[in-house]
Amino acid sequence: MTTPHRDLIGKHALVTGGAKRVGRAVALRLAQAGLDVAITYQHSKDEADLVTKEIRAMGRKAFAIQADFAQVDAARHVADKVLDAFGNLYALVNNASCFSPTPIGKVTPDDFEKNMAVNARSPMLLLQALAPALSSHDTPGRVVNFVDIHVMGQPLVGYLAYNMSKAALHELTMTAAMELAPKITVNAIAPGVVAWADAYSEQDRKDYMRRVPLARPGTPEDAATAVLFLVQDADYCTGQILRLDGGRLWT
Ligand SMILES: NC(=O)c1ccc[n+]([C@@H]2O[C@H](COP(=O)([O-])OP(=O)(O)OC[C@H]3O[C@@H](n4cnc5c(N)ncnc54)[C@H](OP(=O)(O)O)[C@@H]3O)[C@@H](O)[C@H]2O)c1
């Protein structure tokens, strides 16, 4: 059970894609730790309303913003809403992501542009718009990006546009960490599996599990624990990519 941390109570976080799966677990965990939390959703309004209701029941502030990050003005709109409501921001978690196959030979310009817009451009524009607020604290503000182990030297075959967009997010993490220090820390989490994608068959799941030394898939709660570490405890950590893959690095 996460207990509120005195340094986080009264601070504010934004979790993109916070209605379901990993984003939901992250939003709830940050709220348990004391933060007020804004989330974004694209289609999952009912689930988003449930998350904000659960957070408010903890005594924190919470609200949800509809946004399609494929649209160029979405990040600015979200940043404005967050600053209007909270007046400030301590932690930005870029979790929202699109993920669908784009095998070479079938990648359209629209596929490429959508992956880049949702997975790289919007995190960059959010970070840029929110950097002044994230910089205005006694301790460094926090940015946590969700990349993927598949941009750490093991590309996911058949997902070229996704891989390229997450590689761009990886580079955003490294560049922003240098440029925004010492006012903001910028780190990323690179999950293996922390919530199965529907596209994975039972056989795919068994094959994957044979390569995981810790012998279980990760969970959204594992991802939330890693985010909380980076937000709450990792004062002297920036430009790091935290692999969250059950030890798959060596297999
Ligand atoms: N799941 C894993 O095992 C795994 C593995 C490697 C990396 N990751 C990364 O970890 C993060 C969380 O994973 P996840 O599986 O929980 O993610 P996910 O379910 O694939 O996506 C999270 C949310 O992103 C939102 N989203 C999708 N397209 C959007 C758009 N155009 N505009 C705005 N929001 C959009 C969706 O919101 P709505 O539901 O509201 O439409 C969705 O609920 C992602 O960044 C993912 O790439 C996950």
Whichever domain contains 189, its CATH number is: 3.40.50.720
Render 144-195 in DSSP notation, one character per residue: EEE--GGGTT---TTBHHHHHHHHHHHHHHHHHHHHHTTTEEEEEEEESSSS
Residue 128 scores a pLDDT above 80:
yes
Q: pLDDT tier at 251 (50, 70, 90 boundaries)?
A: low
Q: What is the mean pLDDT of residues 12-22?
A: 99
CB neighbour list of residue 20: distance below 8 Å, 6 or more residues apart: 44, 47
- Tell me: pLDDT of 250 over 70: no
From the CB of residue 213, how many other CB atoms can be counted at a distance below 10 Å? 11
Find the 6 Cα to ligand 1 centroid distance in Å.
Answer: 30
Count of structural domains within the chain: 1
CA–centroid distance, 181 to ligand 1, in Å, is: 28
In the structure encoding, which two tokens stand for residue 33, read together? 């730790």
**Is position 2 within any domain?**
no
Closest CA to ligand 1's atom 7: 148
Better-predicted residue by pLDDT, 249 or 83 = 83
Rounded distance from Cα 138 to ligand 1 centre (Å)? 31
Active site residue 162: yes
- Work out which ligand 1 atom sits closest to the CA atom of 41: 40
List, for residues 57-66, the tens digit of each pLDDT value: 999 999 999 9
In a domain, 86, yes or no: yes
Catalytic residue among 162, 200, 208, 236: 162
Assess if residue 6 is contained within a domain: no
In tens, the pLDDT along 139-159 reads 999 999 999 999 999 899 999
Q: Which of 42, 77, 163 to mutate for ligand 1's pocket (most ligand atoms within 8 Å of CB)?
A: 42
Mutate to test the pocket of ligand 1, among 14, 97, 225, 244 (most ligand atoms within 8 A of CB): 97
In this structure, is residue 1 part of a structural domain?
no
| Across 179-200, average pLDDT | 96
Q: Residue 124 domain-assigned?
A: yes
Report the pLDDT averaged over residues 125-134.
98
Predicted local confidence at residue 199, as pLDDT: 83
Strand ordering across the sheet containing 91-94: 62-66, 36-41, 12-15, 91-94, 141-146, 184-191, 241-244
Domain that holds residue 169: 12-250
Q: Cα of 68 to ligand 1 centre, how many Å? A: 12
Q: Checking phi first, is residue 209 left (phi over 0); if not, alpha (psi -120 to 50) or beta?
A: alpha
Mean per-residue pLDDT of the chain? 97
Ligand 1, residues at Cβ distance < 6 Å = 17, 19-23, 41-44, 67-70, 95-99, 118, 146, 148, 191, 193-195
Q: Looking at the predicted structure, is the pLDDT value of residue 189 above 70? A: yes
Residue 3 lies in a domain: no
The answer as to whether 227 is a domain residue is yes
Q: Is residue 7 part of a domain?
A: no
